[in-house]
Amino acid sequence: MNEQLIIYINNFLQKSTEDVVKPMYGIRDKNSIQLISQSLNQEVFGVELYPTIFDKAAYLWYALSNYHCFYNGNRRTALVTTYIYLRINGYCLMIDGSFYDISLNIVESHIEKEKIKEILQENTVENDKISSENILKQLEIEIRKNSSFQDVIVKLSQT
């Protein structure tokens, strides 16, 4: 997951909810975006910090939610970036209405990465990998197909 894609996701989400909330585009902390992106494959003494796809996805969701890299849309960006990361790696996160509360609790209650990993594993099915090319167009299609996913994004834009 590269930093440019994370930025594109935030911009896409801002634009897609501008009828609900006035967008506030912009990167608040580019260094944090770089750190998050680079940390996915970080090793310490030859041991990967996040060895599995689900460890990496949990870290993405947690870090993007809590580091406030953008002026607006951090929770939406965190959830959708995690969704896309899993899709690129051959998994589909089955997002339902509960993901609104989970997204809020990651920030407000500081749900730990291990618990986030469990949530992801319990709500994910194997699927075909999707290419990172035209990913936002594919995302738009998948969001339109899942009204719960749409609702969660809209509700997160209002918090």
**How far, in Å, CA of 108 to CA of 54, rounded?**
22
Average confidence score pLDDT of the chain = 94
pLDDT at 131: 82
In the predicted model, what is the mean pLDDT of residues 127-145? 87
Q: Which DSSP letter does residue 131 get?
A: -
Confidence of residue 149 (pLDDT cuts 50, 70, 90): very high
Domain count, the chain: 1
Q: Residue 11 pLDDT more than 80?
A: yes
Confidence of residue 65 (pLDDT cuts 50, 70, 90): very high
Q: pLDDT higher for 92 or 136?
A: 92
pTM for the structure as a whole? 0.94
CATH number, domain of 29, equals 1.20.120.1870
Q: Provide the domain limits for residue 142.
A: 3-157
With helix as H, strand as E and coil as C, how does 39-71 read?
Answer: HCCCEECCEECCCCHHHHHHHHHHHHHHCCCEC
Q: Residue 35 pLDDT more than 90?
A: yes
